[in-house]
A and B are shown apart, each in its own frame.
Chain A
Amino acid sequence: MTDAAEATTDIRHTQDGRTGRTVHFSVFRGVPGANASYVTYDVPEVEGMVVLDAIHYIQKNLDMDLACRWNCKAAKCGSCSAEVNGHPVLMCKTRVDDLPEGTITVAPMKTFPLVKDLVTDVSRNYKVNASITPFTPRKDEPTPWNIKQHDIERLYEFRKCIECFLCMDVCHILRNHDLHEEYYGPRYFVRMAGLEMHPMDDADRTEEIRTEGGIGFCNITKCCTDVCPEHIHITDNAIIPMKERVADRHWDPIRRMFTKKKESAKPGTAAE
């Protein structure tokens, strides 16, 4: 056996990390239109085990066709979103030993149509994304651009979004009221905030945020912020400043009068 083989084999046999405890999982199984049910699986616990590890154990040893989405298993791609014990989380960063004793339930995100088991149809999100006015650089800006660190620092938060859609899943405007056509949802307000605050962006999305975006529906319950695995302050830093901008522009009567006057003096500018 090579040196390499010895080194890896040692770890394999002596450090598999089994704790000796068995954890019970109750996992949603089903496809649309058929009888769905929760199936119970017993999984041997391993030190530091996350829920996605348990799903992989089930696939390999107990139920090969249990469907779930995942990619990086490092909380960077936002694929393995699900509802664990009723809470929307990334399965790859939810440690089993952080959950209360007893059976752990795993269900798909409720807001999106079911495909199978833990997989849902999230295509609507991509449609919303495509309809947003994209980054529109200022014209005649000399390249390479000169941008100061302090001008972009507040954008970093928005750019951290990994599109796990947990904020969309938990948002009651989508989850309970089903206003998918009228309301963009938290993820896309985060994207729009990132665009609106970009120092080199020249587009004005205020009207779009109000009308197509339907930002007025948000009543600031901050559920989205609570579930964000990237800890983005979705409500405070993205939605509220944009609500204020909409209110300021659209509803402030004095400002409206003032702007209208300015516009009639400058023909050719876009109407409010």
Chain B
Amino acid sequence: METPEIRSCDVLVIGAGGAGMRAAIAATEAGCSTIVVTKSLLGKAHTVMAEGGIAAALGNVDPDDDWKVHFADTMLGGQLLNNWRMVEIYAHEVIDRVRELENWGGLFDRTPSGGIMQRAFGAHSWKRLCHVGDRTGLELIRTCQDRLTATGKADVCMEYTLTKLVRSGDRVVGAIGYKRSDGGFVVIKAKAVVLATGGWGKMYRYTSNSWEGTGDGAAMAYEVGAELLDMEFIQFHPTGMIWPPGARGILVTEAVRGEGGYLYNSEGKRFMFEYDPKKLELSSRDVVARSIYKEVKAGRGTPHGGAYLDIRHRGAEYIKKKLPSMHEQFHALAAVDITKEPMEVAPTIHYTMGGIKVDAETAASTVPGLYAAGEVAGGLHGANRLGGNSLGDILVFGRRAGEAAADWAKSHEEGSVSDAELDAEQKRVLQPLATPEKGEGENPYLLHEALQWAMQDDAGIARTEESLNRSLTAIQEIKERAKNMHVPGGRTMNPGWHTCRDVESMLTVSEAIVRSAIERRESRGSQWRLDYLEKDPEQAKVNYVTYKNGDSMSVKPVPHDPLPKEKEELLHHSRFFEEKKA
């Protein structure tokens, strides 16, 4: 066994996007020694990609808005499968979190009277998204980064990969991993661990996710016995770029529609009049994504199989001011000037509603000492997330997870990591660098691509029992082949070797998605089953929970906490109550 570098802390935060940094700020403020680990450099996390804004019912633009309407919109958007207590906490606290961000130096566009400006977004009753142009995520991450740096108390470990959470007795006591720069092993002992590793879109071919979205956090939590919730719900963002091929999947912000963009088919018709005459282009994401899909299937798609998104009528000056990143993105990548030409768009994998099952108050997982916040956690968004609710999510529950982890750390001692466990993990992680058992060994990049097609084709926007079973078979085959992965080169910054680890995480998470999607025999939210097109009232009462059952993966229906009467009343506050309750 190799002697690893050993580090100790009260709270270990894995992931350094918005949720991870907000958790780390909270843990250090609570007086805990804190280590933050990220696979990338600090400030590069997927949070930077968020464009539209943070949904918070400040009522600066529409005074009728308040947390109750936000609660109702979020619950209805999630088809009432949400953990209602999480939604309640969220709708209340996100208001303070936005103001806090401003007090930390974050900038927002302003109303004429000097308050934070808010814009319309899909399925929100009122103008609610606090934003700065179309780069709100960058503003959030930079503000949190500056705040974290200014406190100077958290130790940020950049470009580390953690491969395993360590359990001692019934609780989590740290993690094992390696430094990407030289491949040296590390053990980080922690009294509490916060997972803030984000979502998983990279097992799909067309995704708006960065390479980091491989589901490491969910996979590690699953391996250590944590339950995963609602894994079948994957959000397709209606508008991703489709051409050129290298840009396929890159996000086109919903803010284009929020600022008044229209969707047309190849016949020049605004087809959203057919599918949702009331909300039109600002219908919820699942509805818009399926509408584009149906138009393409009906032969009314654009040359590359999508729809046209047109914002030209707002005028060049307005577009450049309110949508500067989109203007630049299309100019640079597609040689399209969006002030003069329409954009070609199609649905792209965007967000994972499901994730680690957590307690609403503390973000605690089902394993003691392990917390989860942000996209890696499940429950807040139910069957479909509304735009703008993820940037709020990471601030509200990042903070709560950090505080709860700090509380736990204060009342627990440091655990120990056994040499046997460390030795076994080192052997497992190093195996792809050794001589392969059979032939030349499997190329991890090609296995990744095979998995992407298996998920895209058969566990994508439209699903059937047959397609899902086909996908499951493919996953099992790839899993077998993955046992024989081999990469050349050494341990210094070897992306092939790093990809082996990513493939393993993605296989675990893909299996959870497919198994859960098979069990939910209905169409609800983002889950669209062509063999069960209707909603099933019985399945409205349950979440599907994935858990490790010996050596195999099991999925069980778990009835969710029913909405109390007084909270049910609140649903009427949404302007979309009538249509959504149907």
Q: Do A and B bind each other?
A: yes
State the A residues within 8 Å of B (CB).
Answer: 1-5, 7-12, 15-17, 31, 46-50, 52-53, 59-60, 64-79, 93, 95, 115-117, 119, 121-123, 126, 129-130, 134-135, 137, 143-149, 152, 155-156, 159-163, 195, 198, 200-201
Nearest residue in A to B95 (C-beta to C-beta)? A144
Residues in A whose Cβ lies below 8 Å from that of B42? 126
> Do A71 and B457 form a contact, CB below 8 Å, given A115-B493, A198-B105?
no
CA separation between A195 and B106, bound complex, in Å? 10
Residues in A whose Cβ lies below 8 Å from that of B244? 17, 46-49
Pick the residue among A48, A76, A152, A162 that contacts B334 (CB under 8 A).
A48
Nearest residue in B to A117 (C-beta to C-beta)? B493
A36 smallest CB distance to B (angstroms): 13
CA separation between A67 and B495, bound complex, in Å? 6
B43 pairs with A163, CB closer than 8 A: yes
> Do A64 and B443 form a contact, CB below 8 Å, given A46-B245, A143-B103?
yes
B170 smallest CB distance to A (angstroms): 36
CA separation between A137 and B146, bound complex, in Å? 13
Stretch at the interface among B76-84, B222-230, B246-254, B390-398: B246-254
Across the A-B interface, give the 4 residue pairs with the lowest CB-CB distance, nearest first. Answer: A48-B244, A65-B489, A64-B496, A135-B105
Nearest residue in A to B445 (C-beta to C-beta)? A60
Residues in B whose Cβ lies below 8 Å from that of A15? 245, 304-305
B495 pairs with A71, CB closer than 8 A: no
Residues in A whose Cβ lies below 8 Å from that of B496? 59, 64-65
Whether a CB of chain A sits under 8 angstroms from the CB of B27 is: no
B462 pairs with A65, CB closer than 8 A: no
Whether a CB of chain A sits under 8 angstroms from the CB of B400 is: no
19 A-B pairs besides A17-B244, A95-B335 with CB distance below 8 A are A3-B462, A4-B461, A5-B457, A7-B305, A10-B305, A16-B245, A48-B245, A59-B496, A64-B488, A76-B48, A77-B49, A77-B210, A122-B41, A126-B42, A130-B149, A137-B105, A149-B110, A159-B139, A160-B138
Pick the residue among A52, A60, A119 that contacts B446 (CB under 8 A).
A60
Residues in B whose Cβ lies below 8 Å from that of A8? 205-206, 456-457, 460
Residues in B whose Cβ lies below 8 Å from that of A201? 105
Residues in B whose Cβ lies below 8 Å from that of A76? 48-49, 135, 138, 325
8 Å CB interface, B524-568 against A = 530
B466 pairs with A7, CB closer than 8 A: no
Residues in B whose Cβ lies below 8 Å from that of A147? 110, 114
Question: Interface readout for B137-164 with A: 1 if CB under 8 Å, 0 if not?
Answer: 0110010001101101000101000000
Nearest residue in A to B491 (C-beta to C-beta)? A65
CA separation between A21 and B116, bound complex, in Å? 51
Residues in B whose Cβ lies below 8 Å from that of A148? 110, 114
Residues in B whose Cβ lies below 8 Å from that of A145? 102-103, 114
Residues in B whose Cβ lies below 8 Å from that of A152? 107, 110
CA separation between A135 and B151, bound complex, in Å? 11
Residues in B whose Cβ lies below 8 Å from that of A95? 332-333, 335
Pick the residue among B49, B99, B142 that contacts A74 (CB under 8 A).
B49
Pick the residue among A47, A65, A74, A78 that contacts B494 (CB under 8 A).
A65
A48 pairs with B247, CB closer than 8 A: yes
State the B residues within 8 Å of A (CB).
Answer: 40-46, 48-49, 58, 99, 102-105, 107, 109-110, 112-116, 132-133, 135, 138-139, 142, 146-147, 149-150, 152, 156, 158, 181, 205-206, 210-212, 243-247, 250-251, 293, 296-297, 304-305, 324-325, 328-329, 332-335, 443-446, 449, 453, 456-458, 460-464, 466-467, 487-490, 492-497, 499, 530
Pick the residue among A65, A143, A159, A163 that contacts B487 (CB under 8 A).
A65
Residues in A whose Cβ lies below 8 Å from that of B250? 73-74
Residues in A whose Cβ lies below 8 Å from that of B142? 159, 161
CA separation between A123 and B157, bound complex, in Å? 11
Pick the residue among A31, A123, A159 that contacts B132 (CB under 8 A).
A159
Nearest residue in B to A92 (C-beta to C-beta)? B333
B133 pairs with A115, CB closer than 8 A: no
Residues in B whose Cβ lies below 8 Å from that of A74? 49, 247, 250-251, 329, 333
B150 pairs with A134, CB closer than 8 A: yes
A4 pairs with B40, CB closer than 8 A: no
Residues in B whose Cβ lies below 8 Å from that of A163? 43-44
A77 pairs with B329, CB closer than 8 A: no
CA separation between A66 and B496, bound complex, in Å? 8
Residues in B whose Cβ lies below 8 Å from that of A4? 457-458, 460-463, 467
CA separation between A159 and B131, bound complex, in Å? 13
> Do A70 and B211 form a contact, CB below 8 Å, given A48-B245, A155-B107?
yes
A48 pairs with B497, CB closer than 8 A: no
CA separation between A9 and B138, bound complex, in Å? 35
Would you list 16 pairs from A and B whose C-beta atoms are within 8 A, ordered by A residue? A2-B463, A4-B458, A7-B293, A8-B205, A17-B243, A46-B245, A47-B245, A48-B243, A66-B495, A76-B138, A115-B493, A143-B103, A159-B107, A162-B138, A198-B107, A201-B105
B136 smallest CB distance to A (angstroms): 11
Residues in A whose Cβ lies below 8 Å from that of B457? 1-2, 4-5, 8-9
Residues in B whose Cβ lies below 8 Å from that of A137? 103, 105
CA separation between A47 and B530, bound complex, in Å? 34
CA separation between A72 and B208, bound complex, in Å? 8
CA separation between A200 and B495, bound complex, in Å? 44
B333 pairs with A48, CB closer than 8 A: yes
Nearest residue in A to B142 (C-beta to C-beta)? A159
Nearest residue in B to A32 (C-beta to C-beta)? B492
Residues in A whose Cβ lies below 8 Å from that of B488? 64-65
> Do A93 and B332 form a contact, CB below 8 Å, given A46-B244, A46-B245, A156-B107?
yes
Pick the residue among B103, B210, B304, B495 that contacts A68 (CB under 8 A).
B495
Residues in A whose Cβ lies below 8 Å from that of B133? 156
> Do A73 and B210 form a contact, CB below 8 Å, given A68-B495, A156-B132, A162-B138?
yes
Pick the residue among B44, B456, B458 that contacts A71 (CB under 8 A).
B44
A21 smallest CB distance to B (angstroms): 14
Nearest residue in A to B99 (C-beta to C-beta)? A144
Nearest residue in B to A48 (C-beta to C-beta)? B244
A81 smallest CB distance to B (angstroms): 11
Residues in B whose Cβ lies below 8 Å from that of A78? 44
CA separation between A185 and B474, bound complex, in Å? 51
CA separation between A49 and B245, bound complex, in Å? 8
Pick the residue among A7, A93, A160 that contacts B135 (CB under 8 A).
A160
A1 smallest CB distance to B (angstroms): 8
